[in-house]
Amino acid sequence: MARVFITRRLPGDAVDRLAAAGHEVDVWREPSPPPAEALREHTAQADALLCMLTDPIDSDLLEAAPRLRAIANYAVGSDNIDVDAARARRIAVGVTPGVLTDATADIAFALLLAIARRLPEGEAAVRNGEWTTWEPDWLLGRDVHGATLGIVGRGRIGDAVARRAEGFGMTVVHHSRSSGIPLDKLLEEADFVSLHVPLTPETRHLIDAAALARMQPTAYLVNTARGGVVDQDALAAALHDGTIAGAALDVTDPEPLPPDDPLLAAPNLIVLPHLGSATHDTRRAMAELAVDNLLAALDGKPMPNPAS
Protein backbone atom coordinates (compact mmCIF):
# COMPACT_ATOMS: atom_id res chain seq x y z
CA MET A 1 0.00 0.00 0.00
CA ALA A 2 1.21 3.50 -0.89
CA ARG A 3 0.24 6.88 0.54
CA VAL A 4 -0.99 9.39 -2.07
CA PHE A 5 -1.25 13.12 -1.36
CA ILE A 6 -3.70 15.04 -3.57
CA THR A 7 -3.48 18.82 -3.29
CA ARG A 8 -7.15 19.58 -4.17
CA ARG A 9 -10.51 17.87 -4.33
CA LEU A 10 -11.08 16.61 -7.89
CA PRO A 11 -14.27 16.30 -9.95
CA GLY A 12 -15.63 12.84 -10.65
CA ASP A 13 -14.73 9.61 -8.89
CA ALA A 14 -11.25 8.91 -10.28
CA VAL A 15 -9.70 9.26 -6.81
CA ASP A 16 -11.83 6.32 -5.62
CA ARG A 17 -9.76 4.08 -7.92
CA LEU A 18 -6.68 4.77 -5.79
CA ALA A 19 -8.44 3.61 -2.65
CA ALA A 20 -9.89 0.62 -4.50
CA ALA A 21 -6.34 -0.38 -5.43
CA GLY A 22 -5.45 -0.43 -1.74
CA HIS A 23 -3.68 2.91 -1.48
CA GLU A 24 -4.12 5.42 1.35
CA VAL A 25 -5.43 8.73 0.00
CA ASP A 26 -4.72 12.07 1.68
CA VAL A 27 -6.75 14.88 0.05
CA TRP A 28 -6.25 18.55 0.93
CA ARG A 29 -9.84 19.66 1.54
CA GLU A 30 -9.44 23.35 2.31
CA PRO A 31 -10.89 25.80 -0.26
CA SER A 32 -7.48 27.40 -0.80
CA PRO A 33 -4.30 25.62 -1.97
CA PRO A 34 -2.00 24.10 0.64
CA PRO A 35 0.50 26.74 1.78
CA ALA A 36 4.17 25.98 1.29
CA GLU A 37 4.70 24.43 4.73
CA ALA A 38 1.61 22.22 4.46
CA LEU A 39 2.57 21.12 0.94
CA ARG A 40 6.01 20.19 2.21
CA GLU A 41 4.67 18.37 5.28
CA HIS A 42 2.10 16.27 3.42
CA THR A 43 4.41 15.50 0.50
CA ALA A 44 7.17 14.38 2.89
CA GLN A 45 4.90 11.55 4.04
CA ALA A 46 3.76 10.51 0.56
CA ASP A 47 4.82 7.86 -1.92
CA ALA A 48 2.91 9.63 -4.70
CA LEU A 49 1.71 13.18 -5.32
CA LEU A 50 -1.16 14.46 -7.44
CA CYS A 51 -0.63 18.20 -7.75
CA MET A 52 -1.99 21.24 -9.56
CA LEU A 53 -0.27 23.66 -11.93
CA THR A 54 -0.17 26.26 -9.14
CA ASP A 55 1.70 23.95 -6.74
CA PRO A 56 5.46 24.63 -6.93
CA ILE A 57 7.26 21.30 -6.85
CA ASP A 58 10.91 22.29 -6.58
CA SER A 59 14.10 20.46 -5.68
CA ASP A 60 13.90 21.43 -2.00
CA LEU A 61 10.43 19.91 -1.67
CA LEU A 62 11.59 16.75 -3.45
CA GLU A 63 14.65 16.49 -1.20
CA ALA A 64 12.33 16.56 1.83
CA ALA A 65 10.22 13.68 0.44
CA PRO A 66 12.44 10.58 0.49
CA ARG A 67 9.53 8.18 -0.09
CA LEU A 68 8.18 9.98 -3.17
CA ARG A 69 8.30 7.95 -6.38
CA ALA A 70 5.53 9.39 -8.57
CA ILE A 71 4.10 12.82 -9.40
CA ALA A 72 0.97 13.31 -11.49
CA ASN A 73 0.41 16.90 -12.56
CA TYR A 74 -3.23 17.85 -13.12
CA ALA A 75 -2.30 19.81 -16.25
CA VAL A 76 -1.10 19.34 -19.80
CA GLY A 77 2.27 20.89 -18.90
CA SER A 78 4.79 20.48 -16.10
CA ASP A 79 6.42 23.90 -15.77
CA ASN A 80 5.55 24.03 -12.03
CA ILE A 81 7.70 20.94 -11.44
CA ASP A 82 11.49 20.68 -11.42
CA VAL A 83 11.35 17.69 -13.76
CA ASP A 84 15.14 17.33 -13.92
CA ALA A 85 15.37 17.14 -10.13
CA ALA A 86 12.55 14.59 -10.06
CA ARG A 87 14.21 12.39 -12.66
CA ALA A 88 17.52 12.62 -10.80
CA ARG A 89 15.69 11.06 -7.84
CA ARG A 90 13.99 8.51 -10.14
CA ILE A 91 10.57 10.02 -9.52
CA ALA A 92 8.19 9.51 -12.44
CA VAL A 93 6.35 12.64 -13.60
CA GLY A 94 3.10 12.54 -15.61
CA VAL A 95 0.72 15.03 -17.18
CA THR A 96 -2.80 15.06 -18.67
CA PRO A 97 -2.51 15.79 -22.42
CA GLY A 98 -5.14 15.52 -25.12
CA VAL A 99 -8.33 15.58 -23.08
CA LEU A 100 -8.32 19.36 -22.65
CA THR A 101 -7.53 20.26 -26.27
CA ASP A 102 -11.03 21.16 -27.42
CA ALA A 103 -12.08 22.88 -24.20
CA THR A 104 -8.99 25.10 -24.32
CA ALA A 105 -9.48 25.83 -28.03
CA ASP A 106 -13.08 26.81 -27.28
CA ILE A 107 -12.00 29.29 -24.61
CA ALA A 108 -9.32 30.73 -26.90
CA PHE A 109 -11.87 31.39 -29.60
CA ALA A 110 -14.37 32.71 -27.06
CA LEU A 111 -11.77 35.22 -25.89
CA LEU A 112 -10.99 36.19 -29.48
CA LEU A 113 -14.66 36.91 -30.19
CA ALA A 114 -15.19 38.68 -26.87
CA ILE A 115 -12.28 41.10 -27.25
CA ALA A 116 -12.98 41.75 -30.94
CA ARG A 117 -16.67 42.50 -30.43
CA ARG A 118 -16.28 44.21 -27.01
CA LEU A 119 -18.68 41.83 -25.31
CA PRO A 120 -17.65 42.59 -21.69
CA GLU A 121 -18.15 46.32 -22.30
CA GLY A 122 -21.55 45.74 -23.85
CA GLU A 123 -22.72 43.49 -21.04
CA ALA A 124 -21.50 45.99 -18.43
CA ALA A 125 -23.25 48.84 -20.24
CA VAL A 126 -26.59 47.02 -20.00
CA ARG A 127 -26.17 46.30 -16.29
CA ASN A 128 -24.99 49.84 -15.52
CA GLY A 129 -27.93 51.50 -17.25
CA GLU A 130 -25.78 53.02 -20.01
CA TRP A 131 -27.88 51.47 -22.78
CA THR A 132 -30.50 54.15 -23.25
CA THR A 133 -30.75 54.23 -27.04
CA TRP A 134 -29.27 52.64 -30.16
CA GLU A 135 -26.38 54.59 -31.69
CA PRO A 136 -24.74 53.70 -35.02
CA ASP A 137 -21.21 54.32 -33.73
CA TRP A 138 -21.45 52.94 -30.19
CA LEU A 139 -19.26 50.00 -29.07
CA LEU A 140 -17.97 49.26 -32.54
CA GLY A 141 -15.69 46.23 -32.69
CA ARG A 142 -13.65 44.40 -35.28
CA ASP A 143 -14.74 41.79 -37.80
CA VAL A 144 -13.55 38.27 -37.08
CA HIS A 145 -14.72 36.71 -40.34
CA GLY A 146 -12.18 37.33 -43.10
CA ALA A 147 -9.46 38.41 -40.63
CA THR A 148 -6.01 36.84 -40.36
CA LEU A 149 -5.30 34.68 -37.33
CA GLY A 150 -1.68 34.04 -36.37
CA ILE A 151 -1.21 30.91 -34.27
CA VAL A 152 2.04 30.70 -32.32
CA GLY A 153 2.61 27.02 -31.55
CA ARG A 154 0.88 24.51 -33.82
CA GLY A 155 0.39 21.56 -31.49
CA ARG A 156 -2.90 19.90 -30.59
CA ILE A 157 -4.52 23.06 -29.23
CA GLY A 158 -3.14 25.30 -31.97
CA ASP A 159 -4.58 22.92 -34.56
CA ALA A 160 -7.96 22.91 -32.82
CA VAL A 161 -8.05 26.72 -32.81
CA ALA A 162 -7.15 26.75 -36.52
CA ARG A 163 -10.13 24.48 -37.27
CA ARG A 164 -12.46 26.87 -35.47
CA ALA A 165 -10.97 29.84 -37.30
CA GLU A 166 -11.53 28.20 -40.67
CA GLY A 167 -15.22 27.92 -39.81
CA PHE A 168 -15.27 31.71 -39.47
CA GLY A 169 -13.62 32.20 -42.85
CA MET A 170 -10.37 33.43 -41.31
CA THR A 171 -7.00 33.21 -43.00
CA VAL A 172 -4.74 31.16 -40.71
CA VAL A 173 -0.97 31.49 -40.54
CA HIS A 174 1.23 29.88 -37.94
CA HIS A 175 4.70 29.78 -36.44
CA SER A 176 6.22 26.79 -34.67
CA ARG A 177 9.64 25.26 -34.18
CA SER A 178 9.35 23.04 -37.24
CA SER A 179 6.88 24.73 -39.59
CA GLY A 180 5.11 27.90 -40.55
CA ILE A 181 6.37 31.42 -41.08
CA PRO A 182 8.89 33.43 -39.00
CA LEU A 183 7.42 34.86 -35.81
CA ASP A 184 8.21 38.44 -36.82
CA LYS A 185 6.30 38.02 -40.09
CA LEU A 186 3.33 36.48 -38.29
CA LEU A 187 3.19 39.36 -35.81
CA GLU A 188 3.25 41.88 -38.64
CA GLU A 189 0.50 40.18 -40.68
CA ALA A 190 -1.99 38.92 -38.11
CA ASP A 191 -5.15 40.70 -37.00
CA PHE A 192 -5.31 38.28 -34.05
CA VAL A 193 -2.36 36.49 -32.45
CA SER A 194 -3.17 33.38 -30.39
CA LEU A 195 -0.47 31.78 -28.22
CA HIS A 196 -0.22 28.00 -27.80
CA VAL A 197 3.37 27.24 -26.79
CA PRO A 198 4.63 25.57 -23.61
CA LEU A 199 6.49 27.67 -21.08
CA THR A 200 10.21 26.95 -21.43
CA PRO A 201 13.33 29.08 -20.99
CA GLU A 202 13.12 29.76 -24.75
CA THR A 203 9.47 30.88 -24.70
CA ARG A 204 9.49 32.90 -21.46
CA HIS A 205 8.59 36.47 -22.46
CA LEU A 206 8.49 35.41 -26.10
CA ILE A 207 5.97 38.20 -26.50
CA ASP A 208 7.94 41.16 -25.17
CA ALA A 209 7.95 44.87 -25.98
CA ALA A 210 9.72 44.30 -29.30
CA ALA A 211 7.25 41.60 -30.34
CA LEU A 212 4.26 43.75 -29.39
CA ALA A 213 5.73 46.66 -31.38
CA ARG A 214 5.72 44.47 -34.49
CA MET A 215 1.97 43.85 -34.22
CA GLN A 216 -0.50 46.08 -36.01
CA PRO A 217 -2.12 48.81 -33.86
CA THR A 218 -5.48 47.23 -34.75
CA ALA A 219 -4.38 43.72 -33.71
CA TYR A 220 -5.35 41.69 -30.64
CA LEU A 221 -3.38 39.24 -28.52
CA VAL A 222 -4.97 36.09 -27.06
CA ASN A 223 -3.10 33.94 -24.54
CA THR A 224 -4.39 30.58 -23.33
CA ALA A 225 -0.91 29.00 -23.04
CA ARG A 226 1.05 30.14 -19.97
CA GLY A 227 1.25 33.58 -18.41
CA GLY A 228 5.03 33.67 -18.53
CA VAL A 229 5.04 33.55 -22.33
CA VAL A 230 4.03 37.23 -22.25
CA ASP A 231 5.96 40.08 -20.63
CA GLN A 232 3.01 41.53 -18.73
CA ASP A 233 4.70 44.86 -18.01
CA ALA A 234 5.31 45.29 -21.73
CA LEU A 235 1.73 44.25 -22.48
CA ALA A 236 0.30 46.79 -20.03
CA ALA A 237 2.41 49.52 -21.64
CA ALA A 238 1.34 48.45 -25.14
CA LEU A 239 -2.33 48.60 -24.17
CA HIS A 240 -1.98 51.99 -22.50
CA ASP A 241 -0.18 53.58 -25.45
CA GLY A 242 -2.21 51.90 -28.19
CA THR A 243 0.59 49.78 -29.63
CA ILE A 244 -2.04 47.03 -30.01
CA ALA A 245 -5.83 47.23 -29.89
CA GLY A 246 -6.46 44.80 -27.04
CA ALA A 247 -5.61 41.56 -25.30
CA ALA A 248 -7.55 38.64 -23.86
CA LEU A 249 -5.85 36.34 -21.34
CA ASP A 250 -6.86 33.10 -19.68
CA VAL A 251 -3.43 32.76 -18.06
CA THR A 252 -1.28 35.20 -16.09
CA ASP A 253 1.99 35.34 -14.20
CA PRO A 254 1.47 34.80 -11.32
CA GLU A 255 -1.77 32.89 -10.90
CA PRO A 256 -3.96 34.03 -9.37
CA LEU A 257 -3.20 37.58 -10.44
CA PRO A 258 -3.36 39.97 -7.44
CA PRO A 259 -6.30 42.40 -7.74
CA ASP A 260 -3.92 45.36 -7.48
CA ASP A 261 -1.63 44.13 -10.27
CA PRO A 262 -0.88 47.04 -12.65
CA LEU A 263 -1.87 44.92 -15.65
CA LEU A 264 -5.51 45.04 -14.56
CA ALA A 265 -5.51 48.83 -14.95
CA ALA A 266 -4.75 48.53 -18.67
CA PRO A 267 -7.53 49.34 -21.16
CA ASN A 268 -9.04 46.92 -23.69
CA LEU A 269 -8.14 43.87 -21.65
CA ILE A 270 -10.02 40.70 -20.69
CA VAL A 271 -8.59 38.44 -17.98
CA LEU A 272 -10.14 35.08 -17.04
CA PRO A 273 -9.17 32.89 -14.05
CA HIS A 274 -7.58 30.09 -16.10
CA LEU A 275 -10.82 28.55 -17.38
CA GLY A 276 -9.32 26.79 -20.41
CA SER A 277 -10.09 23.27 -19.20
CA ALA A 278 -13.03 24.25 -17.00
CA THR A 279 -15.78 21.96 -18.23
CA HIS A 280 -17.28 19.08 -16.26
CA ASP A 281 -16.22 16.45 -18.79
CA THR A 282 -12.71 17.80 -19.29
CA ARG A 283 -11.84 18.14 -15.62
CA ARG A 284 -13.15 14.63 -14.91
CA ALA A 285 -11.09 13.27 -17.81
CA MET A 286 -7.99 15.04 -16.47
CA ALA A 287 -8.53 13.38 -13.09
CA GLU A 288 -8.77 9.98 -14.76
CA LEU A 289 -5.48 10.50 -16.62
CA ALA A 290 -3.73 11.72 -13.47
CA VAL A 291 -4.88 8.65 -11.55
CA ASP A 292 -3.87 6.41 -14.47
CA ASN A 293 -0.37 7.86 -14.19
CA LEU A 294 -0.14 7.24 -10.45
CA LEU A 295 -1.57 3.72 -10.55
CA ALA A 296 0.90 2.70 -13.24
CA ALA A 297 3.90 4.18 -11.45
CA LEU A 298 2.93 2.69 -8.09
CA ASP A 299 2.65 -0.68 -9.82
CA GLY A 300 6.18 -0.33 -11.15
CA LYS A 301 5.07 0.38 -14.71
CA PRO A 302 5.76 3.37 -17.01
CA MET A 303 3.25 6.21 -16.77
CA PRO A 304 0.92 6.24 -19.80
CA ASN A 305 1.26 10.04 -20.06
CA PRO A 306 4.79 11.02 -18.97
CA ALA A 307 6.02 14.59 -18.93
CA SER A 308 8.23 15.40 -21.89
The hierarchical CATH code for the domain 3-99+280-298 is 3.40.50.720
| Mean pLDDT estimate for the chain | 97
Question: Does 145 participate in catalysis according to the annotation?
Answer: no
Query: Mean per-residue pLDDT for 214-228?
Result: 98
Residue 163 confidence (pLDDT): 98
CA angle 169, 171, 174 (to 5 degrees): 135
Query: Mean per-residue pLDDT for 173-186?
Result: 97
Residue 76 confidence (pLDDT): 94
Residue 96 confidence (pLDDT): 98
Is 101-271 CATH 3.40.50.720?
Answer: yes
Domain boundaries, the chain: 3-99+280-298, 101-271
Query: Mean per-residue pLDDT for 90-114?
Result: 98
Residue 292 has pLDDT above 90, yes or no: yes
Return d(Cα 73, Cα 291) in angstroms, integer: 10
Residue 240 confidence (pLDDT): 98
Residue 85 confidence (pLDDT): 98
Residue in 23, 42, 274, 283 annotated catalytic: 274
Question: Does 226 participate in catalysis according to the annotation?
Answer: yes
Residue 31 has pLDDT above 90, yes or no: no
Residue 197 confidence (pLDDT): 97
Residue in 164, 255, 280, 284 annotated catalytic: 255
Residue 27 confidence (pLDDT): 98
Same fold across 3-99+280-298 and 101-271: yes
State the pTM of this model. Answer: 0.94
Cβ proximity of 231 and 204 under 8 Å? no
Residue in 8, 69, 175, 226 annotated catalytic: 226
